[in-house]
Structure 1
């Protein structure tokens, strides 16, 4: 009988082991090839590159069930896959598309990248019906001319607002743009307010009249005019509104009118006084026409450049007190003159006349950014743009204006980042400077840090961003909505009672 040699038998036993080794090696090669393919094929892969890397970094697995929705839905609904927190500076223009702004009493939260998705009317904080007024009341005042029958400009190619001091009262421009873009999924913005076309769905009715621009550009008579263009536009707005069923159903109480310039809507305000106004202050309004119970105080649009991350700390601000602006004012502003003569010769105080001419705005911004405290003194009216210039310069505001009303004061505590001094105390020799010199570096730094945290609430921008001035105004209107509805319901009840008596 033939006998196999020991060597032959040994090689025969090793063949299965070599085959297994080859299979394992080949499998590992295929696995590595698949891994590379998944990383490089971000456009065609079932799992995007960013998600795949996040799975690797977080040691996360995602399992899909057949016929249970799209892959993107499965990724977003997976309980084990979470997006990383994205941290940004408060002044950055994030792409958030959250349906509500941040909680103001807490640290600002960034929700990550938004998506090209239209705001959901059902989840909007405020649903707004906006009249389609002719362009002569809004963008026509900017020189915009649309095509025949076109009322609104394209939200991607918007006409600019005039610069200089005109900008400080441009609030109606930003609010109107925000509403126009609210139904356009290509514009990434918060969903605090959304325009609705059906009045029955609306919480508020917005009147898109650029009243401040109308006053600034057309309040003077020209040539043989007997009535100014500004007066003519106001009269037209009044006639339009009081004839509308939308106005009649609530007596105008659910209408929102922006009249930020103290002299805007001067002839129309009494006839439209039942509406909610967006104002700079109540200085030139009787209490029965405008008051804090029904109206909104909105910040001026600041004129100086936002400091951002370049903010100088305590030791790098050599000026103790800064003021630059008109000194000789009437009414409550007479205090400016008194303070000027009291402080002008102090070595660490800058108190001088200034205007927007000859680089005045740039110089003012640099001066505020180099100062520890910036004076906000009452002028012809209780409020001033200077307060908001100081805030974005991270210069601690010193408010000397006894009748001032402040934006969003129901959610912001201004005592955390402002100093308040009564006018009667400020004009006493030594009182103001002794107070400010007594504030040490630690206390000042605490207020400075708070200023940096809240400054974004006073930024007007397009598109609007969560927690900026536009978003904050809509939130303030929403908080007033309950008061509006109370007044409407009460008026309906009283009207019904009067009819029954008759």
Structure 2
């Protein structure tokens, strides 16, 4: 009797294992199928569940982005193939804008005042046709997207602005697709997060508190609960005190590393790359197809680990064994500088994450 029960249990266990194996195989097959589908060609799944549906609608109706395009074609994916000729996009035409953006007229202390700009008369914005306040250099440039996006919106209302505009500023918030909050939060953190003498609270924290009070009092916020608001928080430590209270907003971030998933996630937020801080080659006319080797410098495996020259020394030695153009004599001197000059003739893409830091250490 016990033997028969054991056989029955073993048979049921085998059936359970078979079912589990079948389900696992099925899930793996579907995952692989959708992974292949995501690398090119039309998508099988409509992505209307994601935020910013107007941009997705534009991409869907204007066709998929090809996997191989020439440099001069970049930036034209939002142009309608049945629309005006390309030369008609040489100036900013608000009627062709992908997005209509309402931007709050925040006091200068939230944006250009952080760049030591002094308010002129009653205008909260500098005259961008004249002298534009400079953004600080160095590592500050990594998070300067707040500066460039604000300038782009300000210039979108200039009638003779050259170049196409994909986003245009509107004065009526009810006509807007999104509401832009022009707070230079990364600059605020970099410059004003430390307490100064006689201060009980840093200016960075005070600005975040003032921003929360401002937003909660706005009709635009009350109307949407903040879900159509775009908040700039590109520095990982920016908006540290206010971010939890701004969770309905769309954040522009560098990564999700320091956010809980209920505050920032891939479904509603945008990951923007760092501004490239490594100097470009001068008079480098070789095209993409003229460079037979593709290189990608990832940098440190762990985001916050220190970048060391030794990591790039290993990379150099590997490259030296593969490329005849690289010589050991380069390694003996300032090898990072030599690496850059020797390899430029054969490399298609060079995107070093921490290369600038490594060169300073060399």
Q: Which residue of 2 aligns with 1:305?
A: 279
Q: Does residue 170 of structure 1 match 2:170?
A: no
Report if aligned partners of 1:324, 1:364 keep a CA contact under 8 Å in 2.
no
Following the alignment from structure 1 to structure 2, what is the Cα–Cα distance between the partners of residues 360 and 150?
Answer: 51
Question: For residue 311 of structure 2, what is the aligned residue in structure 1?
Answer: 340
Instruction: Give SS of 1:195's match.
Output: strand
User: Alignment partner for residue 253 of structure 1, among 211, 227, 236?
Assistant: 227
Tell me which residue corresponds to 2:160.
186
Task: State how many pairs are aligned.
Answer: 271
Query: Alignment partner for residue 154 of structure 1, among 106, 127, 137?
Result: 127
Partner residue of 1:136 out of 93, 109, 122? 109
Structure 2 CA distance, aligned partners of 1:362 and 1:174? 30
CA distance in 2: counterparts of 1:270 and 1:360, whole angstroms: 45
* Map of 1:231 onto structure 2: 205
| Alpha-carbon offset, residue 90 of structure 1 | 3.6
1:398-437 map, 5 Å: none
TM-superposition CA deviations, 1:216-238 (whole Å, max 9, x none) = 11112222222111111111111
**Is 2:220 the counterpart of 1:220?**
no
CA contact (8 A) 2:234 2:254 kept: yes
Which string of whole-angstrom CA distances, capped at 9 and with x for unpartnered residues, describes residues 337-393 of structure 1? 79839936836369xxxxxxxx9998886477367498979xxxxxx4769xxxxxx
Q: Is the 8 A contact 1:302 1:385 kept in 2?
A: no
The structure-2 alpha-carbon separation of the partners of 1:115 and 1:365, relative to structure 1 and needing over 3 Å to count, comes to same
Q: Structure 1 pair 181/271, CA: closer, same or farther in 2 (3 Å)? A: same
Out of 251, 267, 282, the residue aligned to residue 256 of structure 2 is 282
**1:322/1:367 contact within 8 Å kept:** no
Q: C-alpha deviations, 1:183-225, integer Å up to 9, x for none?
A: 1112123231111101110110000011111111111222222
For residues 46-85 of structure 1, the aligned pairs below 5 Å read none
Residues 295 and 350 of structure 2 are in contact (CA less than 8 Å); yes or no, is this contact kept in structure 1? yes
How far does residue 112 in structure 1 lie from its aligned partner after superposition? 2.4
Partner of 1:263: 237
Query: CA 1:179/1:105 → structure 2, altered by over 3 Å: closer, same or farther?
Result: closer
Q: Which sits farther off after the overlay, 176-185 or 220-229?
A: 220-229
CA deviation map 1:77-103 (0-9, x unaligned): xxxxxxxxxxxx8479xxxxxxx9512
Residues 1:338 and 1:114: Cα distance change in structure 2 (over 3 Å): closer
Matching residue of 1:126: 99
Q: Report the TM-score, using the length of structure 2 for normalisation.
A: 0.62
Kindly state the Cα deviation for residue 134 of structure 1 after the two structures are TM-superposed. Answer: 0.7
Q: Which residue of 2 aligns with 1:68?
A: none
**CA–CA separation in structure 2 for the residues paired with 1:234 and 1:168:** 21
The structure with the larger Rg is 1
What is the Cα deviation at residue 170 of structure 1?
Answer: 0.4
Gaps of 5+ in 2: 1-69, 321-325, 327-333, 357-362
2:83 paired with 1:112:
no
Query: Does the aligned pair in 1 maintain the 2:100–2:170 contact within 8 Å?
Result: yes
Judge conservation of contact 2:291–2:347 (CA < 8 Å) in 1. no
Q: Matched residues in 2 for 1:169 and 1:211: separation?
A: 9
1:301/1:110 CA distance change after superposition, 3 Å = farther
Q: State the structure with bigger RCO (CA 8 A, min sep 6), 1 or 2.
A: 1
Distance 1:200 1:375 in 2: 44
Query: What are structure 1's unaligned runs of at least 5 residues?
Result: 1-88, 93-99, 351-358, 378-383, 388-502
Determine helix, strand or coil for the equivalent of 1:277. strand
For residue 152 of structure 1, give the secondary structure of its aligned residue in structure 2.
coil
